[in-house]
């Protein structure tokens, strides 16, 4: 038995490639005349990132340059990735401070819970994304590294509308 | 029903309690916890905090549940709108001068002010005035007083007055200036004073030793028994990252009520000592357990053993030592360090006992010889087996008299210059077992910490040793070791880990012969 194939007889005007080719060339020509730029000339130029961007952490300091952290232990508790190591200590005046404060940025999932839970507004997510290093161990940020960074920090919420209403 | 029973309804639940019981205690029996600060089962009722206000039907005012005794046919509402409103007000007043420094407060996570505020307090503060500020005060001993956090429940004052009978604390000043004052020239250095830290429902009295060390929610807690003296206080071992950070008393009305002494509290540090024995050794070389046990058996073959046992070893270990001694025909000696006995006057039969060892009662029951010179009668014909004894006051020369030395211990005694075999064992928080206190109460302790290296539980090592001597002791669990002990020793007949539970059982007839 032979197989019958239905042959559709379409008009040439509809199936011709000429129309599509001309249309595509017209678009190319349009971009040639009026360059609509999408590419950013990184690193000379950088995009504006959202104020709520959550990048690698930064620890804010008091006026005398020490970390604001009081080692309350809420961030290691709330951290779902378990990436914060904190050992509390006591200074000469009997104040609590972090003896060891380390964040493993490889483990971090950048959820921002640490910033949200911090009662002292000490630990913050950073508004930047350039984190390249030459070795893996440099990604465990210690307290000195966290306090010495200067990039802007994330606003997890609108300062004018703290409850997010 | 007997005449002295009162029937009432609390939160819709029918309750029958003896007459004279407070509403708060009656509510506890049906699982309703009425919030309270100043009330504590071990202390006289003060009724000052007003936190336990509840609504009693047909009563014109709200009643403090701690100070109101139950009445026939009473209908009590703990969570009615009126009661909740009143307690919300109480909490708002308590928080007026409270610094809300929870992030740096040691009590955070186990604070009743936090708990009840979260449960039924206001979400925000209406207080706009500056808060009162008072500096911290060192109360001496292990106690630090942070006045700002104090809610003046006076539990500490009542403990020192009525239980410790050492009235050094009081409430000084009045109104919002009031604080807990300490008698001049007095310190909280009394042997049981640190209990005020546990009694304090907030972070006003904190332990200086524990200060800023760990947060309450980071701790792993295990039920155990204090080995500081023969009282055998029930404790909770609290650890952070496999390091014991503090002991807390665990309530047991038959032994320590709600308390433990300061000496016992400070007794956790040696459990973290770094110089532990970690691998079995034979002739100075690290070897496998099987090799070490075979070497021990070879040394003991045809020789008499002289066993020195630590008087804080578990019942299970002591029983196995007795069997090893029976097999090898030797004597078992033990020494007990003694100290000053210090009673807690307001609690029945509770004291830091003179015998500073946890299990001297069992050693006596098993017929071991109590002596200060644990090596008396030792000669070259003997194989000396030291089971976790530090050999305090014993010279290296005295130990060297033995034909061979086997050390079964957590750490090497300094007097032992050379040991033929070393078998590392776990310490009291690293193994499971039971201890017998001076009143003959057999109490279980559970494992909280991991043993270092290849160290094994003492009962496991001793049972293995007994097996390699040709006896039958297939104890794979502490429970099995205790069952074997209960079968062999009439004093422990009928006991097992289930009947002991966590509050213990008393050896029959032990009270008569107990050494005070």
| B431 has a pLDDT exceeding 80 | yes
CA separation for the pair B384, B375 (Å, rounded): 9
Q: CA of B417, closest CA in chain A: separation in Å?
A: 39
CA separation for the pair B475, B463 (Å, rounded): 6
What is the reported pLDDT for B512? Answer: 47
What is the reported pLDDT for A7? Answer: 87
CA separation for the pair A101, A143 (Å, rounded): 5
Distances in whole angstroms, Cα of residue B362 to Cα of each of B52, B56, B441, B502, B504: 45, 52, 10, 19, 14
What pLDDT digit, counting tens, does each position of B318-377 carry?
A: 999 999 999 998 899 999 999 999 999 999 999 999 999 999 999 999 999 999 889 988
What is the reported pLDDT for B511? Answer: 52
| B493 has a pLDDT exceeding 70 | yes
pTM: 0.87
If you measure CA to CA, which chain B residue comes closest to A90? B212
H/E element holding B296?
A: helix B289-300
| A1 has a pLDDT exceeding 80 | no
CA separation for the pair B270, B64 (Å, rounded): 45
Angle at B418 between CA B376 and CA B378, to 5 degrees: 15
Residue B217 with chain A: CB contacts under 8 Å: 73, 77
Which region holds residue A113: left if phi is over 0, alpha if psi is between -120 and 50, else beta? alpha
Phi, psi of B180 (to 5 degrees): -80, 120
Q: CA of B152, closest CA in chain A: separation in Å?
A: 24
B212–A77 C-beta distance less than 8 A: no
DSSP B131: P
| B451 has a pLDDT exceeding 80 | yes
The alpha carbon of B35 is separated from its chain's Cα centroid by a whole number of angstroms, namely 26
What is the reported pLDDT for B514? Answer: 46
Q: What is the DSSP string of B141-156?
A: TTEEEEGGG-----HH
The count of other CB atoms within 10 Å of the CB of residue B457 is 24
The mean of the pLDDT values for chain B is: 93
The answer to whether A123 faces chain B, any CB pair under 8 Å, is: no
B215–A72 C-beta distance less than 8 A: yes
- CA dihedral (B185, B189, B192, B193) in degrees, to 10, reads 60
Q: Which of A161 and B379 is assigned the larger pLDDT?
A: B379
- Per-window interface: A 91-120 vs B, CB < 8 A: 94-96, 119-120
Q: Does the ipTM surpass 0.85?
A: no
- How many Cα atoms sit within 13 Å of B214 on the Cβ side? 15
What is the reported pLDDT for B515? Answer: 45
Provide mean pLDDT across the span B237-249: 95
Kindly state the tokens that stand for B470: 């040709």
DSSP B173: S
Q: Which of B211, B217, B218 sits opposite A90 (nearest CB)?
A: B211
What is the reported pLDDT for B39? Answer: 96
> What residues contact A47, with CB distance under 8 A and at least 6 apart?
A40
Decide: helix, strand or coil at residue B118: helix
What pLDDT digit, counting tens, does each position of B125-179 carry?
A: 899 999 999 999 999 999 999 999 999 999 999 999 999 999 999 999 998 899 9
What pLDDT digit, counting tens, does each position of B36-80 carry?
A: 999 999 999 999 999 999 999 999 999 999 999 999 999 999 999
| A26 has a pLDDT exceeding 70 | yes
Identify the residue whose tokens are 């053993």: B305
What pLDDT digit, counting tens, does each position of B10-27 carry?
A: 999 999 999 999 999 999
DSSP B252: B
Largest CA distance in chain B: 86
Strands B13-18 and A123-126 come out as: unpaired
- Please count the residue pairs, one from chain A and one from chain B, whose beta carbons lie less than 8 angstroms apart: 29
A90–B136 C-beta distance less than 8 A: no
Residue A72 with chain B: CB contacts under 8 Å: 102-104, 108, 215
Kindly state the tokens that stand for A94: 């009997």
Identify the residue whose tokens are 């047991």: B252
Q: CA of A36, closest CA in chain B: separation in Å?
A: 53
| A5 has a pLDDT exceeding 70 | yes
Strands B433-436 and B441-445 come out as: antiparallel
Provide mean pLDDT across the span B185-203: 94
The mean of the pLDDT values for chain A is: 90
| B3 has a pLDDT exceeding 80 | no
What percent of chain B has pLDDT above 70? 98
| A97 has a pLDDT exceeding 80 | yes
B212–A74 C-beta distance less than 8 A: no
B218–A72 C-beta distance less than 8 A: no
Residue B214 with chain A: CB contacts under 8 Å: 88
Q: Report the side by side order of strands in the sheet with B13-18.
A: B13-18, B5-10, B75-77, B53-56, B63-64
If you measure CA to CA, which chain A residue comes closest to B106? A72
| B385 has a pLDDT exceeding 90 | yes
What pLDDT digit, counting tens, does each position of B453-468 carry?
A: 999 999 999 999 999 9
Q: CA of A70, closest CA in chain B: separation in Å?
A: 7
| B304 has a pLDDT exceeding 80 | yes
CA separation for the pair B51, B36 (Å, rounded): 5
Q: What is the DSSP string of chain A?
A: -PPP-PPP---HHHH-SHHHHHHHHHHHHHHHHS-------TTTS-----TT--EEEEE-B-TTSSB-----SHHHHH-TT--EEEEEEE-TTS-EEEEEEEEETTT-----HHHHH-TTS-EEEES------SSGGGGEE-HHHHHH--S-B--SS-TT-TT--
Q: Which of A72, A77, A89 sits opposite B104 (nearest CB)?
A: A72
The answer to whether A74 faces chain B, any CB pair under 8 Å, is: yes
B104–A94 C-beta distance less than 8 A: no
From B60, B78, B61, select the one nearest B13 (Cα to Cα): B78
What is the reported pLDDT for A155? Answer: 87
Q: CA of A34, closest CA in chain B: separation in Å?
A: 59
Q: CA of B103, closest CA in chain A: separation in Å?
A: 5
CA separation for the pair B434, B428 (Å, rounded): 10
User: Which residues on chain B place their C-beta less than 8 Å from a C-beta of chain A?
Assistant: 102-104, 108, 136, 211-215, 217-218
């Amino acid at each position: 038995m032979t197989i019958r194939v239905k042959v559709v007889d379409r008009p040439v005007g509809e199936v011709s490639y000429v129309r599509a080719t001309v249309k595509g060339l017209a678009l190319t020509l349009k971009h040639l005349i009026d360059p609509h730029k999408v590419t950013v000339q990184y690193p000379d130029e950088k995009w504006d990132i959202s104020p709520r961007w959550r990048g690698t952490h930064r620890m804010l300091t008091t006026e005398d340059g020490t970390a604001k952290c009081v080692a309350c232990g809420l961030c290691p508790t709330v951290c779902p990735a378990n990436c914060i190591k904190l050992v509390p200590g006591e200074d000469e005046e009997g104040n609590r401070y972090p003896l060891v404060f380390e964040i493993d940025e490889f483990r971090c999932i950048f959820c921002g819970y640490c910033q949200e839970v911090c009662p002292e507004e000490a630990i913050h997510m950073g508004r930047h994304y350039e984190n390249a290093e030459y070795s893996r161990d440099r990604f465990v940020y210690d307290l000195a590294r966290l306090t010495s960074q200067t990039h802007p920090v994330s606003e997890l919420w609108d300062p004018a509308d703290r409850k997010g209403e | 029903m007997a005449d002295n029973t009162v029937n009432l309804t609390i939160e819709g639940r029918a309750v029958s309690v003896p007459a004279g019981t407070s509403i708060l205690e009656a509510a506890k029996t049906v699982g309703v916890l009425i919030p309270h600060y100043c009330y504590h089962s071990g202390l006289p009722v003060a009724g000052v905090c007003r936190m336990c206000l509840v609504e009693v039907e047909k009563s014109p005012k709200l009643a403090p549940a701690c100070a109101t005794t139950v009445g026939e046919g009473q209908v009590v509402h703990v969570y009615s709108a009126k009661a909740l409103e009143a307690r919300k007000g109480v909490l708002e007043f308590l928080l007026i001068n409270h610094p809300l420094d929870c992030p740096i407060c040691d009590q955070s996570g186990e604070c009743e002010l936090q708990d009840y505020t979260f449960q039924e307090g206001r979400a925000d503060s209406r207080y706009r005035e500056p808060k009162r500020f008072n500096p911290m005060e060192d109360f001496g001993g292990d106690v630090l007083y942070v006045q700002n956090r104090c809610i003046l429940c006076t539990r500490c004052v009542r403990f020192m007055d009525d239980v410790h009978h050492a009235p050094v604390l009081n409430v000084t000043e009045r109104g919002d200036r009031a604080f807990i004052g300490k008698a001049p020239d007095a310190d909280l250095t009394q042997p049981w004073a640190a209990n005020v830290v546990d009694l304090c429902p907030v972070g006003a009295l904190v332990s200086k030793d524990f200060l800023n060390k760990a947060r309450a929610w980071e701790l792993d807690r295990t039920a155990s028994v204090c080995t500081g003296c023969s009282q055998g206080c029930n404790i909770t071992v609290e650890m952070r990252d496999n390091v014991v950070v503090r002991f807390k008393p665990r309530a047991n009305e038959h032994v320590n009520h709600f308390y433990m002494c300061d000496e016992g509290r400070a007794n956790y540090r040696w459990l973290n000592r770094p110089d532990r024995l970690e691998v079995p050794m034979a002739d100075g070389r690290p070897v496998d357990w099987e090799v070490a046990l075979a070497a021990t058996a070879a040394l003991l073959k045809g020789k008499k053993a002289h066993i020195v046992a630590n008087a804080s070893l578990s019942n299970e270990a002591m029983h196995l030592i007795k069997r090893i001694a029976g097999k090898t025909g030797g004597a078992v000696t033990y020494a007990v360090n003694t100290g000053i006995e210090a009673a807690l006057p307001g609690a029945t039969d509770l004291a830091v006992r003179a015998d500073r060892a946890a299990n001297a009662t069992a050693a006596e029951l098993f017929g071991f010889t109590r002596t200060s010179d644990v090596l008396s009668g030792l000669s070259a014909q003997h194989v000396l087996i030291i089971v976790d004894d530090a050999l305090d006051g014993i010279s290296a020369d005295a130990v060297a008299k033995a034909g061979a030395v086997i050390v079964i211990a957590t750490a090497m005694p300094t007097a032992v210059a050379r040991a033929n075999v070393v078998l590392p064992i776990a310490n009291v928080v690293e193994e499971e077992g039971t201890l017998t206190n001076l009143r003959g109460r057999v109490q279980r302790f559970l494992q909280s910490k991991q043993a270092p290296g290849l160290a094994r539980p003492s009962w496991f090592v001793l049972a293995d040793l007994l097996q390699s001597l040709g006896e039958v002791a297939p104890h794979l669990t502490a429970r099995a070791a205790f069952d074997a002990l209960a079968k062999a020793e009439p004093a422990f007949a009928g006991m097992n880990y289930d009947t002991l539970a966590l509050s213990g059982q008393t050896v029959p007839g032990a009270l008569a012969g107990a050494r005070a």
